[in-house]
Chain A
Amino acid sequence: MELNDEQIHRYSRHIILPEVGGKGQKRLLSARVIMVGAGGLGCPVGYYLAAAGVGTLGVIDNDTIELSNLQRQIAHSTERVGMHKADSAKKTFEALNPDVNVIAIKERISKDNILDLIKDYDIVVDGSDNFPTRYLVNDACVLSGKPLVSGAILRFEGQVTTILPGEGHCYRCLFEEPPPPGLVPSCQEAGVLGALPGVIGGLQAMEVLKLILGKGEPLKNRLLIYDALKASFRKVKIPKNPKCPVCGDDPTIRELHDYEAEYCQMRF
């Protein structure tokens, strides 16, 4: 693949970087990334990955746009209320960069379809807002050996981590099981300040670009926590747990199962 003149202009600020160059840009253009959710996190992640020229973006979301999403979900718009988020994201990202092929997947993920959905992609991005999905995505990535960049937000705080199965920790190394229903409030119950997903989604997009380029240190065995009110970041070590039920030495989880989404609608 050779970069055409338009691409040389579009990606000139990448090409200038010693860590990227034309070779790195071609890697980005050939990369395939799938995102779970086109909501608060999925919007900025997809926006930046599309801008950077990540060639294929899968967007899984079965929801439609509501007015209450627009305070933070920047890929959508007022006139698109009622439209599927996956279709809206495709429209926005492809308008930003026609080099990018966005595949809108209007499905609810479950143990039955997730492995099939992610199998043709290099990297998975989790921007879901509930624990059943988060654990399902974690287990699917560990079982299929896919790198996973996971983000979460609530109120004024967010976190990011990069899971490289076989190399580092996974979500279950930190918390073996999802919290019981009702213990942790969802965004719908607790709220989230508008720009927070922009910060966390931006960090997730950066982790994805680093993985594709093979540059820098991924957030492996680390959880990066952002406190918006204090304007502070801290990095917490998460060692790989040899007793982890999915990625440990003697795993008990060898196939996927769905968690009841009883305490939270599957809403991104």
Chain B
Amino acid sequence: MEEIKPDKTINIKGLVCPYTFVKSKLAIEDMEVGEVLEIVLDYPEASRSIPKSMEDHGHKVLKVEKVNDTDWVIVIRKERD
């Protein structure tokens, strides 16, 4: 699969729910439709809840990947304002 280049990356390691999603949402709000956000996080529950919430908000989840023992990377494409 072709690697997607994010337009913005945020590191929310150390944050727990709901601030993981709050920070992600604030980041995506400031982006243009079609742009891609990469989120680096280490709170296990958020690796499931962020993709679900982003889909509920109408965005496209492009990737959810555990990259090492502690961290996940989630990639979201903004689909709507």
Contacts and interface: CB of A to CB of B under 8 A. Distances in A.
**A-B interaction:** yes
A91 interface: no
Residue of B26, B29, B30 ringed by the most chain A CB atoms within 10 A = B26
B19 A22 contact: no
A23 B28 CA distance: 11
A82 interface: no
16 contacts: A3-B26, A8-B19, A8-B22, A8-B23, A8-B26, A12-B18, A12-B19, A15-B25, A16-B25, A16-B53, A21-B26, A21-B29, A22-B25, A22-B26, A22-B29, A23-B29
Interface residues of B, number: 12
Interface in A166-225: none
Interface of B: 18-19, 21-23, 25-26, 29-30, 53, 56-57
A contact residues, range:
10 to 19
B29 A16 contact: no
A9 B19 contact: yes
Contacts of B56: 18
A170 B57 CA distance: 37
Given A8-B19, A9-B19, A15 B57 contact: no
A21 B81 CA distance: 11
Contacts of B26: 3, 8, 15, 21-22
